[in-house]
Structure 1
Amino acid sequence: MTEPSTRARHEGAPRVDLADIVAGRVNHEPETAATAVARFHDPELEWRRLFSEVFGTFLLVLAAAGGGMMGALFPGSVSRAAAVTAPALTVLAVILFMGKVSGAHLNPAVSVAFALRGDFPWIRVPGYIVAQLLGATLAAGLLRVVLGVSASNGSNYPTSALPEWASLVMELVLTFGLVSVILGTASGAQNIGTVGAFGVGGYIALAGLWGSPVSGASMNPARTFGPDLISADFRGYWIYILGPLAGAILAVITAYALRGRGGGRSGSEAAQGAIDTQVARPDKS
Structure 2
Amino acid sequence: MSGFVAELVGTMILIVFGGGVCAGVTLKKSAAQNSGWIVITFGWGLAVMIGAFAVGKFSGAHLNPALTLGLAMSGDFPWDKVPTYILGQMIGAILGACVVYLQYLPHWRVTEDPAAKLGVFSTAPAIPQTFSNLLSEIIGTFVLVMGIQAIGANKFAEGLNPLIVGFLIIAIGLSLGGTTGYAINPARDLGPRIAHFFLPIAGKGSSNWKYAWIPVVGPILGGMFGALFYKAVFLQDVKPAFWVISVILLIVIVAAYVGEKRLKHPEAAASK
Same fold (TM over 0.5): yes
Q: Aligned in 2, Cα 1:184/1:126: closer, same or farther, shift over 3 Å? A: same
Matched, 1:214 2:179: yes
Q: Which residue of 1 aligns with 2:18?
A: 64
Q: Residue 206 of structure 1 aligns to which amino acid in structure 2?
A: A
Q: Which residue of 2 aligns with 1:179?
A: 145
Q: Which residue of 1 aligns with 2:37?
A: 80
Q: Aligned in 2, Cα 1:157/1:90: closer, same or farther, shift over 3 Å? A: closer
Cα distance in structure 1, aligned partners of 2:10 and 2:34: 25
Q: Which residue of 2 aligns with 1:101?
A: 58
* CA deviation profile, 1:176-216 (whole Å, cap 9, x unmatched): 010001122337xxxx9545323311111011123232111
Matched, 1:199 2:175: no
Q: Which residue of 1 aligns with 2:190?
A: 225
Q: Which residue of 2 aligns with 1:9?
A: none
Q: Which residue of 2 aligns with 1:258?
A: 234
Cα distance in structure 1, aligned partners of 2:92 and 2:12: 4
Q: Residue 102 of structure 2 aligns to which amino acid in structure 1?
A: V
| 3-state SS of 1:214 partner | coil
* CA deviation profile, 1:137-168 (whole Å, cap 9, x unmatched): 00111222331337523133332534122111
Q: Residue 224 of structure 1 aligns to which amino acid in structure 2?
A: D
Q: Which residue of 1 aligns with 2:120?
A: 154
Q: Residue 98 of structure 1 aligns to which amino acid in structure 2?
A: V
How far the C-alpha of 1:77 sits from its partner, in A, is 4.6
Q: Aligned in 2, Cα 1:201/1:193: closer, same or farther, shift over 3 Å? A: farther
Which piece of structure 1 moves more, 128-137 or 90-99?
90-99
Cα distance in structure 2, aligned partners of 1:205 and 1:262: 30
8 Å Cα contact 1:182-1:196 kept in structure 2: no
TM-score normalised by structure 2 residue count:
0.71
Cα distance in structure 2, aligned partners of 1:202 and 1:262: 29
How far the C-alpha of 1:97 sits from its partner, in A, is 3.9
* CA deviation profile, 1:24-77 (whole Å, cap 9, x unmatched): xxxxxxxxxxxxxxxxxxxxxxx5221111111011111111122222133635
Cα distance in structure 2, aligned partners of 1:169 and 1:82: 25
* CA deviation profile, 1:210-251 (whole Å, cap 9, x unmatched): 323211111000001122101221341111111111111221
The CA RMSD measured in Å over matched residues stands at: 2.4
Q: Which residue of 2 aligns with 1:113?
A: 70
| 3-state SS of 2:179 partner | helix
Give the fraction of aligned pairs with identical amino acids, expressed as a percent: 26
In structure 1, runs of 5+ residues without a counterpart are: 1-46, 264-285
Q: Which residue of 2 aligns with 1:7?
A: none
* CA deviation profile, 1:84-122 (whole Å, cap 9, x unmatched): 111211222333342111000000001101111112111
Matched, 1:135 2:92: yes
Q: Aligned in 2, Cα 1:262/1:58: closer, same or farther, shift over 3 Å? A: farther
8 Å Cα contact 2:46-2:166 kept in structure 1: yes
